[in-house]
Chains A and B, each alone.
Chain A
Amino acid sequence: MSVLSIQGLSIALPQGADRPFAVQELDLDLQPGEVTCLVGESGSGKSMVARAILGLLPPRVRIGAGSLRFGDKDLATLDQTGMRALRGAAIGMVFQEPMTALNPLHRVGRQVDEVLRLHTKLGRRDRRVRVLELFAQTHLPDPAQIARAYPHQLSGGQRQRVVIAMALALRPQLLIADEPTTALDVTTQAQILHLLRELQRQQGTAVLFITHDFGVVADIADRVAVLQRGVLVEQGTREAVLRHPQHCYTQALLAAVPVLAPPARAAPSQTPQVLEVQHLQKTYRRRSLRGHATHALDDVSLMLRRGETLGIVGESGSGKSTLARAVTGLVRADSGEVILDGDAMTGLGRRQLRPFRKRIQMIFQDPYASLDPRQRAGDIIAEGPIIHGMDRAGAQARARELLGLVGLDAAAAARYPHEFSGGQRQRIGIARALALEPDILVADEAVSALDVSVQAQVLELLAGIKARLGLSMIFVTHDLRVALQICDRVAVMRSGRVVELATAAEIYASPQDPYTRALFAAVPGAAWERSAA
């Protein structure tokens, strides 16, 4: 007897959307005690399924056909009062971003308490005891203190534990988790996945786990369902789908996931070094009387050889982005030297720095936020050369040429950023960085916001361009898989320090620092891949 039986579900989008149905004729059964992963790329309609189950579809989006049988009820036709009684009690939900999913003005204890207040007749005291129990169950340290904290006072992992405590407060039969670990660091992600698995086993909950990450799927799924543009193309057990995918889309997706191992590479040649960083220090001052100063960079030294790709790997707050920005001159270090081809960049004024800026260019993480929405793609790319003295017509011609180089049509120059997909925008970002003919590219999480298939294409493009133009690259990422694939050497950062720096092959084969080992252990799907080998 399945907990939830979805039959022939179609979710209709409003007129003018890119397709008439977000999800089309979906059949899916969720069994008690099983984790079903619904996998798909952005726009596949996977989140719509979650929202349809809870009756929380966005305005003007509605269930077009089909039934959602939950016990003796059909969630597709149940009224709001009926839904409210189920939500939070029989069906729990965990969201992607725990910071925004919690009300910033209420203490977290009160937010969990709200669920108990709404669905039980427990008194104030009993509810408080239950809240503390739940916090202990989700392994939050010092539950009484956590309950009094506001969301902004907790870490990302702690916040997600609070959200999980909230979702599981009344031991629901069904838990829906929509990308619950995507916003978290890898080591935190591993802990949260472990926790979800543990609680789900204890309580026999059926879980619908929505994700785009096959590593996560390998770690947590019992069953897997793959969604492509609203159509379920394949479903089966984890073994079947991951080891022997039948549908070509599933095969392509799995092939696009970078393997957690460095590819065979020619031994690094001893080319001359192009960039050197010596004893770089950067401290962000404490923001209030009671705050702490942050050591974003703590005595960082490294060097980059010509034609090499150096990976900077670390979790949020490790200082990797600050390092990228200090190298490009966007952030001024407190002390230490950045030496480009023998010339020290530190201590230069704005004007003196300008010729150096041209030689180091940056590709940013968020392809949506990093392009001026009111500038045409051609102008975005041409702006740099024009600033550095190229005439307008020449710069525009160069922009069109570069668009070709990054695999876009020259006609794209006349279009605005919102007319492109995420992957295409990142290509524009790369073309913009290349426009000044730099010696060094600094890519700060340049593929993190992209779907796996797009990510693979952009990585390939970057590697190709780098080889063709003889560039050197600093590649900042949180993703060890990507780092091993693309980088010659990898530096692992933690709390502003480089804890380990070695070639990709060495760091994979014999990580020296315990933190590096912890990072490798936390990579989603790592255990699964080892078991296959």
Chain B
Amino acid sequence: MRRLAFAGRRLALAVPVLFGVAVLNFFLIHLAPGDPASVMAGEGGSATPEYMDMLRHKFGLDQSLPLQFWHYIVNIVQLDLGYSFRNDETVLSLILDRLWPTLLLMVTAFILSVVCGTLLGLLAGTRRNSPRDGIISVLALLASATPTFWLGLMLIVLFSIRLGWLPTSGLETIGAFNEGWAYVVDVARHLILPALSLAMFYLALYVRVMRASVVEQTRQDYVTTARAKGQSERGIVFGHILRNALLPVVTMAGVQAGNLIGGSVIVEAVFGWPGIGTLAFSALQGRDLNLLLGIFIVSACVVVVLNLMVDLAYGILDPRVEL
């Protein structure tokens, strides 16, 4: 009940946050030179000034900036994200089409990095300064120093081109028209490399955070208490240390949740993943302002929800936290 009230309060607080995001995005984007009309006209190559004025009028770009902003806000409140003239479709349907591949990629990468990072960190921290710890720590250091795009390219070179085990890009095999289980397997095979690339940096970060946290918790008095009870070392690690050591990782996961969307732009570009990232990139190229703004606001919503979930998880994990 208390958690529900907390979630309600946080969602209410999200409204001014999202409004701020909308304000910032709108004006920042209008600071950039060029508008959709000039880009479209430029592509055609033979636009007259009259034709461009006509386009601007059609897109509403001839109105004053405050007026445009007013329309924008009113539309958002009505969940109308506008119309993409380049794609000849509503922004909402464009985004909804591309949202699920991105969410799939994000959630997979998130779970992969948290679970593997925690486990490896635990393995390293419980045997401090052993060869096992050394190997894990060095690998984590390497992984956190590797740029995401380079890692992605190298994974493609190794697993797709050299070994031929996994597909190079895309969400599914084009023209295969798989259905049912075969479709799931196909998407999963396409998912492995991009998810791995996106997860790697945070995975390495979690290893290091978790390792330090385990080492610190091992020195705590309650661990001695558990030993004095006659608890086994394994029982101490899984019964006592693990949950306490997880707390800093959860804090870090909140930060990662916010960064995932940004990171996915690069990964989606490398792997030709048909998600929000590639959509945003093409919208940027074509000065498709409506689409771009829509993507921003949807991303902001996703981040707000993810952060709320992380905070709730923290509250469940640590009874001392008062929500």
Contacts and interface: CB of A to CB of B under 8 A. Distances in A.
A528 B231 CA distance: 40
Say what secondary structure dominates the interface of chain B: helix
Contacts of A225: none
A150 B320 contact: yes
Contact of B221 (A87, A100, A105): A100
B217 to A, nearest CB: 10
B319 A150 contact: yes
B244 A87 contact: no
Interface centre among A86, A118, A290 (most CB of B within 10 A): A118
B225 to A, nearest CB: 5
Interface stretch (A60-68, A88-96, A361-369, A444-452): A88-96
Given A105-B243, A105-B319, A290-B322, A88 B228 contact: yes
B220 interface: yes
Interface in A153-167: 163, 166-167
Interface in B228-285: 228-232, 235, 239-240, 243-244
B221 A118 contact: no
Contacts of A118: 229-231, 235
Interface in A96-121: 97, 100-106, 114-115, 118-119
A89 B243 CA distance: 26
B133 to A, nearest CB: 15
B317 interface: yes
A398 interface: no
B151 to A, nearest CB: 36
Contacts of A84: 230-232
A56 interface: yes
Contacts of B244: 103-105
A80 to B, nearest CB: 8
B240 A103 contact: yes
Nearest to B224: A56
A97 B232 contact: no
Interface string B54-75: 0000000000000000000000
Contact of A95 (B225, B243, B319): B225
A409 to B, nearest CB: 35
Nearest to B233: A80
A467 interface: no
A95 B230 contact: no
Interface centre among B229, B317, B319 (most CB of A within 10 A): B229
A287 interface: yes
Nearest to B222: A103
Contacts of A100: 220-222
Interface string B291-323: 000000000000000000000000001111010
A254 to B, nearest CB: 31
A97 to B, nearest CB: 6
Contacts of A115: 229-230
Interface in B17-72: none
B317 A102 contact: no
A86 B244 CA distance: 27
Contact of B318 (A56, A95, A105, A291): A105
A48 B322 CA distance: 38
Contacts of A152: 319-320
A370 to B, nearest CB: 23
A219 B222 CA distance: 28
B226 interface: yes
A85 interface: yes
Contacts of A102: 222, 225
B227 interface: yes
A491 interface: no
Nearest to B319: A150
A105 B317 contact: yes
B321 to A, nearest CB: 10
Nearest to A169: B229
A54 interface: yes
A315 B318 CA distance: 29
Given A150-B320, A152-B319, A95 B227 contact: no
Interface centre among A86, A101, A102, A119 (most CB of B within 10 A): A101
Nearest to B220: A100
A87 B227 CA distance: 8
A288 interface: yes
A55 to B, nearest CB: 9
Interface centre among B221, B240, B243 (most CB of A within 10 A): B221
B320 A87 contact: no
B245 to A, nearest CB: 11
Contacts of B239: 114
A105 B315 CA distance: 11
A100 B317 CA distance: 18
B227 A56 contact: yes
A104 B222 contact: yes
Nearest to B9: A289
Contact of B231 (A86, A114, A150, A163): A114
A166 B320 contact: no
Given A103-B226, A150-B319, A152-B320, A97 B221 contact: yes
B116 to A, nearest CB: 23
Nearest to B225: A101
Given A95-B225, A103-B244, A104-B222, A88 B319 contact: no
Interface in A433-448: none
In the A-B complex, the 10 residue pairs with the closest CB atoms: A88-B230, A88-B229, A100-B221, A87-B230, A93-B228, A288-B322, A103-B222, A150-B319, A84-B230, A101-B221
29 contacts: A54-B227, A56-B224, A84-B230, A84-B231, A84-B232, A86-B230, A87-B227, A87-B228, A87-B229, A87-B230, A93-B225, A95-B224, A95-B225, A101-B221, A101-B222, A103-B240, A103-B244, A104-B222, A105-B243, A105-B319, A106-B240, A114-B226, A115-B229, A115-B230, A150-B320, A152-B319, A152-B320, A166-B229, A287-B322
Given A105-B244, A166-B225, 16 more contacts: A56-B224, A84-B232, A87-B228, A87-B229, A88-B228, A95-B221, A95-B225, A101-B221, A102-B222, A102-B225, A103-B240, A104-B318, A105-B243, A105-B319, A152-B319, A290-B322
